[in-house]
Amino acid sequence: MFRWSSMMRRPNLARVLAAASLLLALAGSAHWLLPLGREAFALLMARDDAARLADLRLDAELTAGRANREIDEALANDDAELAASFLELADSRALPVPADRRARVLAAASAGTVRQAAAFGRGFVTGEADDLAGLAGATAGDLTVWGDVRDLGRQAGHYLRDEPIDPLMTGLAGAGIAATAATYAAFGTPLTLRAGLSLAKGARRVGAVGLRLGDDLAGLLRSGRHARAIAAVADIGRAGEKAGVRATLAGLRHADDVTDVARLRRLSEAKGGQTLAVLKTLGRGALVLGEIAARLAFWVIAAAANFLGLVAGINNMMVALCRPLWRRRDGRRLQPA
């Protein structure tokens, strides 16, 4: 029979208090640190998947109240396209939109159809645009070889007048002539590429292609890496097909290189008509993590350290409480009576 009186000796009080204090401190911070670490880890894992990244960030950014405010603001600015995009995004995320607000969006979309059709026609004929509908018409006009010849002629005029020429516009127009010929020869097979060239030129006209993206595309054309440049232009065309001209232009404003253009294409394929609202809500954050990546990595490391500390703290606490059960004060193990 064991000598139970020896087993019931009081444990080292200082050791128990130290272990309990550490455990309480770690447990107190875990309730907010571990969820932050989990969210940060999910964002880091989605950094190369624009659609997944946008969904995760929308969870924190887009509420029913904000969606309804954005719809009201768009309607107040006579922006039916943006209002319709936010309505579609709200429906996809099961955010409630009152019936009267929904009806106003549909009415605004119908009222703007005639006005946009007229602007589209002017852009198609002249190649000049005062608004996005006109730009869409100019882009559609580029699907014929005339638009590219017109743009090459303008650049030639700049050269003859000793004015600066745009190497990117020149390269896109030249590629557009070749792509148009290939489209007709292949009965429309490369139509996405042809549309991408038109959209890229339209974006360049209105300043939607930033300096870094423009330099990246022009550099690819100058260096002979035509396959990479063609893939980027095709990505622009695909984004335009899925999300529309305006959403594509909005995304290109946030793209710094052809990798960002590929992310825009994946976002447009996943979100379709919601893309414009996603970009309005998240900006460049819809495509890349950017400067917050380092901060997210810190939260992941901090959460992991907290979890390991909890495990170690529980272990120390159990050791401090159970030590008297297997060791006598003189250091010898308990022996049967």
- pTM (2 d.p.): 0.67
Per-residue tokens: 57:
């960030």
* DSSP 8-state secondary structure symbol assigned to residue 158: H
Q: What is the mean pLDDT of residues 250-270?
A: 91
Q: What is the mean pLDDT of residues 35-56?
A: 80
- Ordered by start, the domain boundaries in the chain are 4-44+295-326, 48-288
**Which is higher by pLDDT, 36 or 99?**
99
Q: How confident is the model at residue 106 (pLDDT cuts 50, 70, 90)?
A: confident
**Which is higher by pLDDT, 94 or 292?**
94
Per-residue tokens: 322:
């159970």
Q: How confident is the model at residue 69 (pLDDT cuts 50, 70, 90)?
A: very high
Helix, strand or coil, per DSSP, at residue 144? coil
Beta strand extents in 134-257 (DSSP E only):
none
4 Cβ neighbours under 8 A, 6+ residues apart: none
pLDDT of residue 335 exceeding 60 = no
Q: What is the pLDDT of residue 3?
A: 47
Asked whether the beta carbons of 324 and 9 are under 8 A apart, the reply is: yes
Instruction: Note the pLDDT tens digit of each residue in 166-184.
Output: 777 777 666 666 666 555 4
- The span from the CA of 128 to the CA of 296, in Å, is 45
Q: What is the pLDDT of residue 2?
A: 45
Q: Per DSSP, what are the bridge partners of residue 2?
A: 336
Per-residue tokens: 65:
């109240």
pLDDT of residue 262 exceeding 80 = yes
Q: What is the pLDDT of residue 176?
A: 65
In this structure, of 185-194, 207-216, 313-322, the range with the lowest mean pLDDT score is 185-194
